Amino acid sequence: MCRTLAAFPTSCLERAKEFKTRLGIFLHKSELGSDTGSVGKFEWGSKHSKEGRNFSEDVLGWKESFDLLLSSKNGVAAFHAFLKTEFSEENLEFWLACEEFKKLRSATKLASRAHRIFEEFICSEAPKEVNMDHETRELTRTNLRAATATCFDVAQGKVRTLMEKDSYPRFLKSPAYRDLAAQAIAASASPSKGSPAEPSHT
């Protein structure tokens, strides 16, 4: 729904509404908010037009690469909701926390945020402990002594690889995503511009 509503035939508008409903399958009633502020609700409309991709292209792009999924706010939200069904959402939340962490410029904020991330995701018996080998855990602990924007790079990379090789393929095979992708393909096959005089078939 990147264009004005008047530019779309009624059938396209109906499909767009249906998309939103189907994406809600992933969300259920789960709350996607987190302390990192990075996992948000789906964002429809204006931001997609700014990114140069319409809704169906966004959805279909998720299966092209894990990078495209992570670069899409809707994709991140859908993937997060899927991970919640597998009780492994902490992996994505950690990755997102690291992405936000690397944007910090204040040394004081870097240090305090680094310890918060470590205590939340990495230390033994952390509330959202990610699956990590002992060597990486200890390396990250050592890095905290002089926190920099790169102190979580190794840990973040390993968690990302785990998600890409393990959870991501299952996400693409999930009935909810397959159904959504099929609808996106159908919408892509429809003309994006149509004459108002042309009736849409039912």
Q: What is the 8-class DSSP label of residue 166?
A: I
State the residue for tokens 């994006």: 192
pLDDT in tens, 33-65: 333 334 444 443 334 443 334 788 899 999 999
**pLDDT-derived band of residue 21, with 50, 70 and 90 as boundaries?**
low
| SS3 of residue 127 by DSSP | coil
Q: Identify the pLDDT of residue 131.
A: 92
| SS3 of residue 73 by DSSP | helix
pLDDT in tens, 62-82: 999 999 999 999 999 999 999
Q: Is the dihedral of CA 63, 64, 70, 73 positive or negative?
A: negative
pLDDT at position 142 over 70:
yes
pLDDT at position 116 over 80:
yes
Query: Environment class of residue 192 by beta-carbon count within 10 Å: exposed (0-12), middle (13-18) or buried (19+)?
Result: middle
Which residues lie closer than 8 Å to 129 by C-beta, 6 or more apart? 90, 121, 122, 123
pTM recorded for the entire structure: 0.72
pLDDT at position 157 over 70:
yes
Q: What beta strand segments (E) does the chain contain?
A: none
For residues 100 and 191, which has the higher predicted lDDT (pLDDT)? 100
